[in-house]
Structure 1
Amino acid sequence: MHRSLNPAPVAPSDARQGLRIRVRGVVQGVGFRPAVWRIAKALALRGRVRNDGDGVLIEIQGEPGALRRFLSRLRSEAPPLARIETIQTREIPARPLTGFHIVASAETRANTPVAPDAATCPSCLAEIRDPDNRRYRYPFTNCTHCGPRLSIVAGVPYD
């Protein structure tokens, strides 16, 4: 009697896992969604990120190991003005998706804090002091790492 010992082949796409990730804290108006996008692209993950009234919502899928690395990097590579209070994850079914996208904010009730105004960062100061830069001596230069937040935000979600 001869039996085959070869297991049935498993396609790599069958190993994809989906997660819905809720991030709460000071995560709007501080460059958090672009940071999420950069990490997801670097790890070849697919999905989307958006602001809503509770913070940031990420729906993402990929290989389980890449998702674990994503969650780890989410905290360690957050923008300087971001303050993550909680990260909640829930498994969701993986769907056929292409790429990773930043999508428009969801119109919902607001329950997320706004970052306080921040002093001008060294990078923006360098631009202000560089005579060859178009922002030379422009007093309102700011970026996602510095500048006004609380004093200019009319409401959240904040794009």
Structure 2
Amino acid sequence: MRLPIPSDRTTRLVTVSVLSFSCAATAFTTLWNVTAGLAVAVLVTTSLTVAWLLTPTYVTVRGRRVTIVSPGRRITMTVKGTRGTVDLRGARLLGVGGVFGYVGLYRVKGVGRCHVYSRRRSRLAVLETDRGTVLVGAEPPEKLLKAFEPATS
């Protein structure tokens, strides 16, 4: 099974704002000092490229294994259980927050410390995995959670 990880309006707005500000800052700095402008351009381009490479695009499920796919990597883990859905409310400890999505280590209210792989802040599936608690922004989250329910006879 393959489920998309779509962006919400807030993520798209933040991404466009950051890209616009970055272009303006680079242009202004280049007018002031060409060398400094090139340094800013390299720093901004590198940062945004890394953020884009880490942003998840879809999730696949095979048996008890879930794979989160982004342009730059695939993360596969074994799911031990589920805990429903939750909104992303808390603090980012390490990672990307808002530009292209939400990826990294977070402390989320009602969940605690967890890894987040999403492009939106609402209705994230909570999975208990061999790597700890993981929040995934697959759409629809109910379908992802149902894939890991125990089979009933």
TM-score tier after normalising by the smaller chain length: under 0.3
TM-score for the superposition, normalised by structure 2: 0.25
Higher CA-based Rg: 1
Question: Which structure is higher in strand share?
Answer: 2
Question: Which structure is higher in helix share?
Answer: 2
